[in-house]
Structure 1
Amino acid sequence: MLYDAADDPARLTPVELREAYEAQLRAVVSAHGVEPVADDADVDADLLEALVEGAVPQLRVEDAASILALDEERPDAEAILLELRDHLLMAMTTGVVDVDTIASNVDLDLSGQEVQQALEGRTAMTLAQLAAIQQYLAERNDR
């Protein structure tokens, strides 16, 4: 479900965590094929080819959820997104962290308001942004 791609995200760098997300996605694309995933998930086939061949940090979380939803053992894309957001918000609550704190502690060049909009799904969030936010929250909560 993206947030569970790594057993201990606090011990990873954001790049390593993003790579774990991509490995989940790559497994789905490999199992179903690029063209069927492109059609069923409504994700650009060239982007999926790039994913199969390597890193795609600018892949949107919404696209990742659509890809993961093609795995029969996972819920639909909307449920994946809602669960991801819930997981991130719970991590913020546990760590007593607000969006301004996240913005000032991750290397994303986002304001607190932009972090909030991304977490709420009001603006697109990339896998690289998700990895930086999740890793920061996990590390903070691991203290």
Structure 2
Amino acid sequence: MLYDDIEDPDSTSPAELRADYVAELAGIVETRGVDAVADETGVDRETIGALADANGDVADEITLEEAAAVAALAEDAPDADAIVAEVRDTLLMGMTTAVLDVDTIAVESDAEMDGKQVHQKVEGRAPMTLAEYATLHHFIASRQR
């Protein structure tokens, strides 16, 4: 799930995480239906349709909050706000454990963001796409040794 720790970052990549996240969300959409998910989450029907097709490119467009809204529809899942909070907590705690600052993440990761952008996205002051989350999550997890 979106908020789970990455147990072995060496065995995966940010691209694989993006694909896994999209596949999980696609499964939820398949179970509930595109129209129902769009209605229940308020996420654009086109975006939900791209998720249903498991189109990996949708990860570059869907925000973390939208992905969390879809993920919250899974059986026994926490609500969307709790998922977003858990994701942000995971990133911040990971940064603390790995002794990483936003400038290091910006320079050493493939995030294509500067330190200020990383900071804003991790704290929720700027939107973060699912693809950006996968990149940051993977990089931070890879440095927690």
TM-score bucket of the superposed structures, by smaller chain: over 0.9
What CA deviation, in whole Å up to 9, does each residue of 1:51-73 have, x standing for no partner?
Answer: 12121122111100000111231
Matches within 5 A, 1:27-106: 27-53=27-53, 54-55=55-56, 56-58=58-60, 59-106=62-109
Structural RMSD (CA): 1.5
SS for the counterpart of 2:59 is coil
Which amino acid in the other structure matches residue 42 of structure 1? G
Q: Does 1:120 align with 2:123?
A: yes
Which amino acid in the other structure matches residue 90 of structure 1? M
Shift of 1:42: 0.6
SS for the counterpart of 1:57 is helix
Whole-angstrom CA distance in 2 between matches of 1:5 and 1:41: 25
**Matched-pair contact (CA < 8 Å) for 1:28–1:71:** yes
What CA deviation, in whole Å up to 9, does each residue of 1:69-128 have, x standing for no partner?
Answer: 112311111000001110111110110001111111122321111101101111100111
Q: TM-score, normalised by structure 1?
A: 0.92
- Aligned partner of 1:13 in structure 2 is 13
Shift of 1:28: 0.9
Whole-angstrom CA distance in 1 between matches of 2:77 and 2:14: 24
How many residue pairs get matched?
A: 142
Judged with a 3 Å threshold, the aligned counterparts in structure 2 of structure 1 residues 97 and 91 are, in CA distance, closer, same or farther, namely same
Q: Structure 2: which 5+ residue stretches go unaligned?
A: none
Whole-angstrom CA distance in 1 between matches of 2:5 and 2:37: 20
Q: Structure 1: which 5+ residue stretches go unaligned?
A: none
**Matched-pair contact (CA < 8 Å) for 2:28–2:71:** yes
Which amino acid in the other structure matches residue 109 of structure 1? E
**Matched-pair contact (CA < 8 Å) for 1:118–1:124:** yes
Whole-angstrom CA distance in 1 between matches of 2:31 and 2:5: 17
* Identical counterparts, % of pairs: 46
